[in-house]
Structure 1
Amino acid sequence: MTILAIALFVGTYALILMEKYVHRTVAALLGACAVMVVGLLSPEQAWGSIDFNTIFLLFGMMNIVNVLSRSGFFDLVARHAMVFTRGEPVRVLWTFSVLTAVFSAFLDNVTTVLFMAPVVVTVVTRLGLKPIPYLIAVILASNTGGTATLVGDPPNIIIGSVAGKGFGDFLTNVAPYAVVATVVGIALMHLLMRWRGHLNAEGSAHRLQQILSDNTPVKTNPKLMKQALGVFGLTLVLFMVGHPIGLEAGLVALTTSTFLLLIADLSPVELFEQVEWATLLFFMGLFIVVGALEHVGVFEQVATALTNTIDGNIGLGILLVGFSSAIISGFVDNIPFTISMASVLRELEGTLGPAMDPLWWALSLGACLGGNLTLIGASANIVVSDIAAREGHPLSFGRFMKYATPIALVTTTLALGLYYLVFMLTGAGQ
């Protein structure tokens, strides 16, 4: 049964990597169905293996973001950002990268790139610039910015749920290193684009002035925007204060988003049509496949091996978990990897107790930042690639790596290295 569970897990992974031929959601659901058909899990056990805290968190945040979008909030932000750039490519790079990082930290990086990437394509093409480097910058910023908080990147959502960590825990233990990685990443992208001649501004200011001479007001719904921003702010506050009193992030997001649907003058049916159901079902399918591995004791065996390797040396564990997570996440989607590794660390926690908390943060930094290594490393990468192709600017695997991989190697090494250094210097490593 152990061999069968591992075989189905590997097969599901292989199908996920073949997304050109099989959609990742279909791959995950096929794996989940196979787990139940062969009898590794009963339907009841499969249902119980789904982490609904993660599902509720994603569903709730998707609804809040959809209402914000309906209010015209993102269009308004994009218009102001375009004005602020004044036709200067350097300003375009930094403005949209910083905006992407900030939005990714408090929404989620997939949602952020869905509205940010088309805006970037529009701006840079009208300025006579090549969109691909700017889109890669958006991808890098979305993954590094999303690393900072519980809700910013799917791996963090998974870690928060499995490890029982709250919004404040990520702000304290992960955000400082994610901010450093974000700033350094944008700066390196700036140097790389300058070296390759993508920041030349000939005629750009004139083109942008022509664009901005159109004074057509952005269509907004002020009442809806105030309601959505108010609920969004309340949600963030409850994320920070709710965990200590037993309010999990998933319950908070589900409750506040439902309240927003109650007070907003919108059709829930229309809003639910905008929910990324494929993403939710992808998570559910993976939880079932991973649940089969847990059921047959695979994670217990891996946790034992990891415990023996670390032998109580948490500093060694930080380096081992962090860098292995980064490398693996670069070549397989970081979502299924994090689901698997989180289960291993949960087993390890039974042996080491709270002393192993730094390993959760090493996993977060490694899995999130490692997603920048290749085009298939994170969901946001695939989303931007699809948008680029739809806009007539295909983004190849090799071209992405020319820009992203060197930057990802530097930022990931820097973040994990700083975290390890702080851990050792504060006496925790003694």
Structure 2
Amino acid sequence: MEIILATIIFIICYIFIMTEKVNRAVVTMTGGTLLLLTGIYTTEKMLVDYIDWNTIALLFSMMVLIAITEKTGLFSYIAIRFAQRVKGAPIPLLIGASILTGIGSAMLDNVTTVLIFVPIILKITKLLKLPAFPYLVTIIFSSNIGGAATLIGDPPNIMIGQAVEHLTFSSFLIHVAPVAIILFVIMLVLVSFLFRNTLKRKSIEIEELVKINAASYLNKTPMLYQSITVLILTISGFLFHAFLHVELTAIALSGAILLLLLTEKELATEQIFEKVEWVTLFFFIGLFTLVGGLEEVGVIDELARAIVVSTDGDYVKTTLLILWISGLFSGVVDNIPFVAAMIPVVQEFESYGMVYLDPIWWSLALGACLGGNATLVGASANVVVAGLAEGAKQKIPFIRFLLYGFPLVIISLIIATIYIYLRYLIPYMDQV
């Protein structure tokens, strides 16, 4: 009875998350509360065993760091200066926006990056009388592919990194970044080709762009230099935390608190906390409780057994199946709840004799991040961009996005399959 109850609660919550009829955080928190009320687990077990507070603290810290840095105008300055440097040329602007978004998504996180760049791109395309759709779609693609490259770039990667201790920031750079770079270049070539006619400019419209004083966006106060310094220190800490023997969450928290202390006189802490995406944080908390319910009643164990049975326990088949399931499923629903459900599934594979799980983790990370490009609801960054675009009366049609996104995902998964097979599975088979 408990299995049926926990599964029904999870499915109903998933449907509400997909349809977005009710706030996602409210949906997941409601689901977690129902699991408590029905006695699926105790409050203590939920808080101690199932909610990953390391992930919550890491997300919160990054939100604080970016919120303070954003106040300095640094990100707006970079975007506008680049647009002026390419003199408003449509294709170079598209490529430049894509590269900035990809780098930002890799080094910060993709949701924050699109929040920073989309309003600027919308303003520039309006000034240059260019269609916004190609730029918005490319930003979404860039954010998800760029976010796949690092541990902090996309929430699914953060969750995987927190679940598996030895998968560090450097590990993601070594194992995932190479294929992400390849996919990024292919994506740039494809979008440049597909939108080449749409972005043909009939007349030069750069006068208004040139008139924008990019430096006016910079608040040249001590906070600007403090933000840049702390951000560099924090990212450096991420890169070398394995050598420093300091946890990723501890580094992020240290950076956030240090910047709060340094900027307190110039910017009230209350203002920064208002910018924190509390809905996202509580969505994660509720999500962990929902997945915890499935784990508590044994659904996760059964799912892991079903995957192993479907591949006859074959290591190669299992690894590639995880990649494609993750990619296709993440295109239909947000990749965050999917990865939250899959993490304990992959962990369960150890009990079936699969000791070397790293290639499976990379398959899960790549599938979830790349699959997010398929539809407008495939990843959190997509939803954010769609919302910002609609607010600017540049609505992104769901079907039109699908026509570009789904083929890109299939191409991405094929390339990722080749990459994983050649880099990990062939060497593994040779050893066996």
- Aligned mates of 1:382, 1:275 — CA distance in 2: 17
Offset at residue 277 of structure 1 (A):
0.2
**Cα shift readout 1:80-99 (whole Å, capped 9, x = no counterpart):** 11112212110111000110
What's 2:30 paired with?
Answer: 30
What does residue 260 of structure 2 align with?
A: 261
Task: Write the distance in 2 (CA, Å) between the matches of 1:2 and 1:228.
Answer: 49
* Contact kept in structure 2, 1:318 and 1:420, CA below 8 Å: no
Q: Which SS does the other structure have where 2:241 is aligned?
A: helix
Within 5 A, what are the aligned runs for 1:50-129? 50-129=51-130
User: Residue 355 of structure 1 aligns to a residue in which SS?
Assistant: coil
Shift in Å, 1:263: 1.4
User: Do 1:54 and 1:157's aligned partners in 2 also have CA atoms closer than 8 Å?
Assistant: yes
Q: Distance in 2 between matches of 1:240 and 1:28?
A: 33
Superposition CA RMSD, Å: 1.7
Percent identical residues: 37
Q: In 2, Cα distance between the equivalents of 1:267 and 1:349?
A: 49
Aligned 1:9-408 pairs, distance under 5 A = 9-19=10-20, 21-48=21-48, 49-164=50-165, 165-194=167-196, 197-203=197-203, 205=204, 207-215=205-213, 217-218=215-216, 219-243=218-242, 246-264=245-263, 265=265, 266-311=267-312, 313-352=314-353, 354-408=355-409
Change (3 A) 1:351 1:393: same
Deviation string 1:281-313 (CA, Å, 9 cap, x unpaired) is 000000001011111122122223333444553
One-letter amino acid matched to 1:251: A
Report if aligned partners of 2:72, 2:220 keep a CA contact under 8 Å in 1.
yes
Q: 1:421 Cα deviation (Å)?
A: 2.0
CA distance in 1, matches of 2:247, 2:188: 33
What SS class does the counterpart of residue 144 from structure 2 fall into? helix
TM-score by length of 1: 0.95
1:5 is aligned to 2:6 = yes
Matches of 1:216 and 1:10 in 2, distance apart? 48
* Distance (Å, rounded) in 1 between the aligned partners of 2:345 and 2:174: 23
**2: CA distance between counterparts of 1:307 and 1:222?**
58
- Cα deviation, residue 428, structure 1: 5.3
Shift of 1:424: 3.5
Match for 1:40: what amino acid? I
Partners of 2:408 and 2:354 lie apart in 1 by 35
Helix, strand or coil at the partner of 1:273: helix
Give 1:188's aligned amino acid: L
Show structure 1 runs of 5+ residues with no match: none
Gaps of 5+ in 2: none
TM-score for both structures, normalised by structure 2: 0.94
